[in-house]
Amino acid sequence: MELYRLTIHELQEMLRKGEVTSRDITESVFRRIEEVEGKTRAFITLMKEQGLKQAEMADIRIKEGKLSQLTGIPLAIKDNMCIKGIKTTCGSKILENYIPPYDGTVIERLKEHMPVFIGKTNMDEFAMGSSTETSYFGVTHNPWDIERIPGGSSGGSASAVAADECIAALGSDTGGSIRQPAACCGIVGLKPTYGRVSRFGLVAFASSLDQIGPMTKDVRDCSILLSVISGHDKLDSTSIDVEVADYEKCLGQDIKGLKIGVPREYFIEGIAPDVVKSLWSAVKELEKLGATYKEVSLPHSEHAVAVYYLIAPAEASSNLARYDGVKYGHRASGTKGLMDMYTQTRSEGFGQEVKRRIMLGTYALSAGYYDAYYKKASQVRTLIKRDFDEVFKECDVLLTPTAPTPAFKIGEKTDDPLQMYLSDIFTIPANLAGIPGISIPCGFSREGLPIGLQLLGKHFDEEKLLQVAYAFERHTDYHLKKPVIGQDAL
Q: Is 296 helix (H, G, I), strand (E, B) or coil?
A: strand
CA–CA gap between residue 259 and residue 263 (Å, rounded): 13
Residue 438 contacts by C-beta under 8 Å, 6 or more apart in sequence?
179, 188, 189, 190, 191, 222, 454, 455, 465, 466, 469
Burial of 305 (0-12, 13-18, 19+ CB in 10 A): middle
How many CA atoms lie within 13 Å of 84's alpha carbon, on the beta-carbon side? 9
Question: Do residues 455 and 465 touch, judged by C-beta distance below 8 A?
Answer: yes
Nearest by Cα to 398 from 284, 263, 271: 263
What is the CB neighbour count within 10 angstroms for residue 35? 17
Secondary structure (DSSP) of 22-82: HHHHHHHHHHHHHHHHHHH--EEEE-HHHHHHHHHHHHHHHHTT---TTTT-EEEEETTB-
Q: Is 189 helix (H, G, I), strand (E, B) or coil?
A: strand
> Looking at the annotation, which residues are catalytic?
78, 153, 177
Length of the chain: 490
